[in-house]
């Protein structure tokens, strides 16, 4: 698909019998410390599949945990370079990882993040409509403009979003 195409991203459901499975959508700060994976582990517990971006911080922790725990990751990349790195990782590991080039920083610039978030939300809507249980977990820090955007898009699509770091963010949670 041409990067400037306006066609909607249409993807097949993750599973044929989705009603008993749990899909976790995770969004979070790029500066989340690797030394604090506990809240992300809690969000992923019992999941069959994960929808996540390709950034550092929370996204990287969630992807690593998914691969360790045999949770099927669906990674939404926002650059061709990162997409290609993930293709190499998938081939090296031989894992059933779904990769989507949802946006391209070099073409979309600052719109790439919200565009990727929208593609992640769209996929969650497809899975919800197919009967899958969806958990949306957010790990914002004060610098988390992309996470806040993803939370807003998820809520607009009718999802409940669990911000897991209220003690770190404090009163800023009222901004969501």
Where does the chain show beta strands of DSSP type E?
A: 22-28, 49-53, 72-77, 98-101, 133-139, 161-163
- Is pLDDT above 70 for 68? yes
- Residue 12 inside a domain? The answer is no
CATH number at residue 53: 3.40.50.450
- Report which of 43, 50, 85 is spatially closest to residue 66, judged by C-alpha positions: 50
Average pLDDT of the segment spanning 37-53? 93
- Residue 2 inside a domain? The answer is no
pLDDT at 20: 52
* Interval 99-141: pLDDT, tens: 998 888 888 888 988 999 999 999 999 999 998 999 999 999 8
- Residue 113 inside a domain? The answer is yes
Query: Where is pLDDT greater, at 164 or 5?
Result: 164
- Is pLDDT above 50 for 4? no
pLDDT at 12: 42
- Residue 43 inside a domain? The answer is yes
Domain that holds residue 142: 20-166
> Contact, 132 vs 108, CB < 8 A?
no
- Residue 137 inside a domain? The answer is yes
- Residue 47 inside a domain? The answer is yes
pLDDT at 1: 41
> Contact, 107 vs 141, CB < 8 A?
no
Number of folded domains that form the chain: 1
Average pLDDT of the segment spanning 64-76? 95
- Residue 6 inside a domain? The answer is no
Extract the tokens encoding 16: 């044929």
Strand partners, 138: 27, 163
- Residue 176 inside a domain? The answer is no
128: three-class secondary structure by DSSP: helix
pTM of the complete model beyond 0.85: no
| Percent of the chain scoring above 70 in pLDDT | 81
């Amino acid at each position: 698909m041409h990067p400037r195409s306006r066609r909607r991203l249409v993807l097949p459901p993750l599973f044929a019998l989705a009603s008993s499975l749990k899909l976790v959508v995770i969004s979070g700060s790029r500066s989340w410390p690797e030394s604090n994976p506990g809240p992300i582990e809690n969000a992923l517990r019992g999941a069959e599949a994960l929808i996540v971006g390709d950034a550092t911080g929370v996204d990287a922790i969630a992807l690593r945990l998914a691969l360790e725990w045999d949770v099927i990751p669906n990674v939404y990349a926002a650059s061709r370079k990162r997409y290609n790195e993930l293709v190499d990782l998938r081939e090296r590991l031989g894992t059933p990882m779904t990769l989507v080039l949802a946006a391209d920083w070099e073409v979309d610039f600052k719109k790439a993040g919200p565009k990727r978030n929208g593609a992640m939300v769209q996929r969650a809507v497809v899975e919800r409509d197919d009967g899958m249980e969806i958990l949306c977990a957010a790990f914002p820090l004060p610098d988390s403009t992309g996470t806040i955007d993803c939370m807003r898009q998820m809520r607009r699509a009718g999802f409940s979003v669990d911000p897991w770091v209220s003690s770190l963010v404090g009163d800023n949670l009222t901004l969501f």
